[in-house]
A and B are shown apart, each in its own frame.
Chain A
């Protein structure tokens, strides 16, 4: 790969005049897996530029809520509006939202048959219809940003878990999304690799990205979150700014949960 391309400045994407200051609006969502009521009347409003960290015991519906925001999961009742577009059965609305919302998974979910670079250029080329050269320039830009530009030609299996997750972040960023969803991005990483991924995410937060993060990394949450959300038993238990959330939790379940993970 030519180095000039990777160093070429990628023009900042013009943030369109916001139709709405609200990035994500979840209104009274109910969802069942069979007879199991996994999301119970969940409502959450996320402003542009906000960074929400969702925590809570496993099985509480955190990931499911996140996955409703790009309709990887569907729901039975309620509305989800992302960037002013309501997600409906209509594939057009789904495609429109998915183009603007990046997602990072616990298991990375990189495409193992494609090189790191191809992982990054696939969606820009085939969803946005970007020419290969331009897509590669953007991919190099973001790979540099997550500090693994030298791995572009490798395959995912040749990278460590932390590197794979950073590629996954770069892959999502290559679509130049307005909102990023992180579904337990560090949960399947070895301890020594958690930091490199969190550092990348902190950098992203500094740049003003709207982020929704399901995570148990409380240090990270304190550092970047604008608001904390605690979910348990499919419902939102408590929403608050990090400082009061950690120092003076109000709900019993929040107290119990925090005492479990903070010592």
Chain B
């Protein structure tokens, strides 16, 4: 072998061997690669089967689908073990969705939902143009329209007190208001916490730490039962509004910490470049820093949104009936008292909560992937 070498012909790329591509190769490598791997695979499959099969039996196979009262869902009547009692859900469905909102006014809720969806869907699909206008409509105009549509008292709409609201409506109202309110509040608090002005910084730190240090239940209690003592007697704040304010402040503090994490990840050079170009503080933040920082913390923000969505169930403690609260209230109805009513209700509520949370998290994953393409650092 000589010490010098000159390549005469370049080697063209070849297809990879069968052992590293294709389904059999994947199974081989990922699931049955070694003895330990095989055992783990089989064990996992066993556990999954043990968990899923009873659930499927309860929800689908053993379930009762038609009926008009508790007797239809009793094992004695049916003559076999009974799973979910779906007629119970059907009978209470309106309550679960709308609470005690007057039946002839329910169209207002549906109209609000429809408007929300019509505005939200194009906002979520990247290809649809007019994003700025769309965002203004959804985040700025829609909440106001929804407020008047749901509360009424104007334009000849019948006033509906919020204590009649309930079910999924309340869950969604609290979640939506919480998200809409907590993000701007969180941004301001996060910026304030990094401010060079000591007073602003201290205020933000105290504010954030206070709300983070207090459990949501305490906040709700305080907002509902204590707040009126501190406010002038003429100030009659609606019970739901008090809860909403509490939720926004609480969620805002968490959001602030999430967003602060994103702000810290932006290199100093970005600030310097923006300042060197003559951008002032708010323009620098608005055009350069926040778009990058918020993108980085999408997973954290979505996490907070999902947590907020599920935390809304705590409002039951201050006598506001969200989906789960409405559900629990209906368990007391003797017409539907069966051994499976409770499980049926929780299974139904669980499916709704799961479906919505899952959609939020999947969409966030999609957004994250989309934003990261071509803009990798």
Which residues does A use to contact B, with CB under 8 Å?
Answer: 67, 70, 72, 91, 95, 98-99, 101-103, 105, 107, 109-113, 122-123, 126-127, 155, 157-158, 171-172, 175
Contact = CB atoms under 8 A, between A and B. Distances in A.
Contacts, number: 69
Interface residues of B, number: 22
Given A123-B278, A123-B279, A126-B283, A111 B375 contact: no
Contacts of B375: 112-113, 155, 157
Contacts of B292: 111-113
23 contacts: A72-B272, A72-B276, A91-B280, A95-B280, A98-B277, A98-B278, A99-B278, A107-B269, A109-B269, A110-B273, A111-B273, A111-B274, A111-B288, A112-B292, A112-B375, A113-B295, A113-B375, A126-B279, A127-B279, A157-B374, A157-B375, A172-B276, A172-B277
A95 B278 contact: yes
A123 B288 CA distance: 11
A103 B270 contact: no
Majority secondary structure of chain A interface residues (helix, strand, loop or mixed): mixed
Nearest to A95: B278
A122 B278 contact: no
Contact of B277 (A112, A158, A171): A171
Interface core residue of A67, A126, A155 (most chain B CB under 10 Å)? A126
Contacts of A105: 269, 272-273, 276
B181 to A, nearest CB: 26
A98 B377 contact: no
10 pairs of A and B residues whose beta carbons are closest in the complex? A109-B273, A123-B277, A109-B269, A98-B278, A103-B276, A127-B278, A99-B278, A113-B291, A107-B269, A155-B374
Nearest to B291: A113
B1 to A, nearest CB: 33
Interface string B260-293: 0000000101101111111110010001100110
Q: Which of B269, B277, B291, B374 has the most CB of A within 10 A?
A: B277
B229 to A, nearest CB: 45
Contacts of A175: 277-278
B276 A98 contact: yes
Contacts of B288: 111, 122
A184 to B, nearest CB: 13
A136 B47 CA distance: 61
B103 interface: no
